[in-house]
């Protein structure tokens, strides 16, 4: 399950970067790690807000909305993963 969360965070971070004119060659892995590094102090919602501020991303979804997208990716994948088991 932990792998699913990491992949979902990277996916959302990658899409956030793409919306701001960046094209991370690592498909968002470094940005995802930054969110994970920030999360113990700020929580995931706050970590996305800090990332947006650090990268000067403007006009984007809130940290809550970004984290909701992470949850949707993870929880949307759970039934599929269970079906494959």
Cα torsion 24, 76, 58, 18: sign: positive
Which residue has 């990277």 as its token pair? 10
Distance CA 57, CA 81 (A): 33
- pLDDT tens, 52-69? 999 999 877 999 999 999
pLDDT band, residue 78 (cuts 50/70/90):
low
The pLDDT value given to residue 83: 47
How many domains would you assign to the chain?
1
* For residue 81, pLDDT beyond 90: no
Give me the domain span that covers residue 79: 2-84
The pLDDT value given to residue 10: 96
Which residue has 């807000």 as its token pair? 49
The 10 Å Cβ neighbour count of residue 41 is 9
- pLDDT tens, 11-52? 999 999 999 999 999 999 999 999 999 999 999 999 999 999
| pTM across the whole model | 0.85
- Using only C-alpha atoms, what is the Rg of the chain? 13
């Amino acid at each position: 399950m932990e792998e699913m969360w990491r992949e979902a965070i990277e996916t959302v971070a990658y899409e956030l970067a793409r919306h701001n004119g960046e094209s991370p060659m690592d498909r968002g892995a470094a940005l995802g790690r930054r969110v994970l590094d920030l999360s113990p102090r700020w929580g995931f919602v706050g970590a996305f807000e800090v990332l947006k501020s650090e990268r000067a991303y403007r006009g984007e979804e809130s940290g809550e909305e970004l984290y909701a997208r992470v949850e949707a990716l993870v929880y949307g994948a759970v039934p599929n993963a269970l079906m494959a088991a």
